[in-house]
Amino acid sequence: MSTWIPESASNLAASVDNITLFVTIVSVFFFVLISAVLVGFAIKYRRKSEDQETAYITHNSLIETIWTIIPAILLMVIFAWGWIAFKELRNPPAEAIEVNVVAKQWLWEFEYFTGKKSLNELFVQQNKPVRLIMRSDDVIHSFFVPQFRVKQDILPGGYQQLWFTPTKVGTFDLLCAEYCGSGHSQMLAKVNVLSPEAFARWEKGDELEEGAVVAASSISPVERGKDLYSQRGCLACHSIDGKEVIGPTFKNLYGKTEILQDGSSVLVDENYLRESIYEPEAKMVKGYPPTMPSFKGILSEDEVTALIEYIKTLK
């Protein structure tokens, strides 16, 4: 947060930042000039006496021409520069690695060419161009990573693409930038940029290791469940403090008896929770919309266990 523009972590950031800097210099120059002249005139020509002499000046063609042409030239330079940098943003190199992205209310799914899948966490390799092929299942979303200076709306009924080459190892926020409903501000995900070695390990890794940048064994199931809760997007619909969001709150959920849509009731235990994660529509609690997607193939059995352990602690 120390600088006015976020850290640059992709190959595209530099050219965007250069033109931004240019526009900023031009803007600050004109703003200071305009304000200084305004304040200067206001002080110098303030009314000191009622019969103060004023000049009768209606126009001046020379100065008017000058202040039309100079901004016009600068604006054309900015336009051209912006366009050139934009072309770069829009045209991915042929060798880019493709990742399929599905945006839906309110989570992100990623599918890699190896067949691997991940949820709310995108894994990319440092210095390797990536091309995202994105579609939406419902309304318009927008893929935005500030550190990469990229953004692209994702529309239903077609594919949108976006590309970048991550240049720094680390974890970056992925934000949904187009308003998409009640879970919009929680439609967050992470982009994990891994070094070539780490990426190779991740690619070979089994389901257990997937998603965990930190080794899975080093933390308890409750802590792991807590991480999953935020990483996998549960938080978009289920609160942990008793607030009604989209789905039932997790607070005091475990051990409670819920009324289902057909009027029957069910005790919330481990089996019910697991079933509701893998087949959300099997036993729907009365009064909630059927919006939750199945997490089959996304959350492993171990991860579900960890999540349930975490839910149990929420009293």
Residues 34-93 that bind another protein (CB under 8 A): 34-35, 37-38, 41-42, 45-47, 52-60, 63-64, 67-68, 71-72, 75-76, 78-79, 81-90
- 200-229 residues in contact with another protein (CB under 8 A) are none
Q: Identify whether the C-beta of residue 134 lies closer than 8 Å to the C-beta of residue 201.
A: no
Candidates 116-124, 178-186, 201-209, 271-279: pick the segment binding another protein (CB under 8 A). Answer: 178-186
d(CA 29, CA 21): 12
d(CA 141, CA 188): 11
State the DSSP code for 288.
-
- 92-131 residues in contact with another protein (CB under 8 A) are none
Q: How many residues bind another protein (CB under 8 A)?
A: 87
The backbone region for 130, taken as left when phi is positive above 0, alpha when psi lies in -120 to 50, beta otherwise, is beta
Task: Pick the closer one to another protein by CB: 19 or 308.
Answer: 19
Task: Pick the closer one to another protein by CB: 90 or 201.
Answer: 90
Q: Identify whether the C-beta of residue 246 lies closer than 8 Å to the C-beta of residue 236.
A: yes
Q: What's phi and psi for 224, nearest 5 deg?
A: -65, -40
Q: CA nearest 167: which of 56, 45, 12, 272?
A: 12
- 14-33 residues in contact with another protein (CB under 8 A) are 15-16, 19-20, 23, 26-27, 30-31
Task: Pick the closer one to another protein by CB: 27 or 271.
Answer: 27
Q: Residue 13 CB, nearest distance to another protein (Å)?
A: 9
- Tokens describing residue 66: 């000058």
Q: What's phi and psi for 127, nearest 5 deg?
A: 65, 15
d(CA 231, CA 173): 11
Q: Which of 11, 120, 160, 165 binds another protein (CB under 8 A)?
A: 160
Task: Pick the closer one to another protein by CB: 194 or 240.
Answer: 240
Q: Residue 171 CB, nearest distance to another protein (Å)?
A: 12
Query: Binding marks (x or -) toward another protein, 283..312, rule CB under 8 A?
Result: ------x-----------------------
Q: Which of 62, 118, 123, 158 binds another protein (CB under 8 A)?
A: 158
Bridge partner list, 132: 99, 162
Q: Which of 116, 128, 131, 184 binds another protein (CB under 8 A)?
A: 184
Q: Which of 243, 257, 262, 315 binds another protein (CB under 8 A)?
A: 243
Task: Pick the closer one to another protein by CB: 57 or 215.
Answer: 57
Question: What are the CA-CA distances from residue 16 to residues 22, 92, 176, 312 (Å)?
Answer: 10, 16, 20, 47
Which burial class, exposed, middle or buried, applies to 305 when counting CB atoms under 10 A from its CB (0-12, 13-18, 19+)? Answer: middle
Task: Pick the closer one to another protein by CB: 151 or 312.
Answer: 151
d(CA 171, CA 98): 20
Task: Pick the closer one to another protein by CB: 167 or 305.
Answer: 167
Candidates 155-163, 214-222, 252-260, 273-281: pick the segment binding another protein (CB under 8 A). Answer: 155-163
- Tokens describing residue 174: 């992925």
- 245-274 residues in contact with another protein (CB under 8 A) are 245
Q: Identify whether the C-beta of residue 2 lies closer than 8 Å to the C-beta of residue 50.
A: no
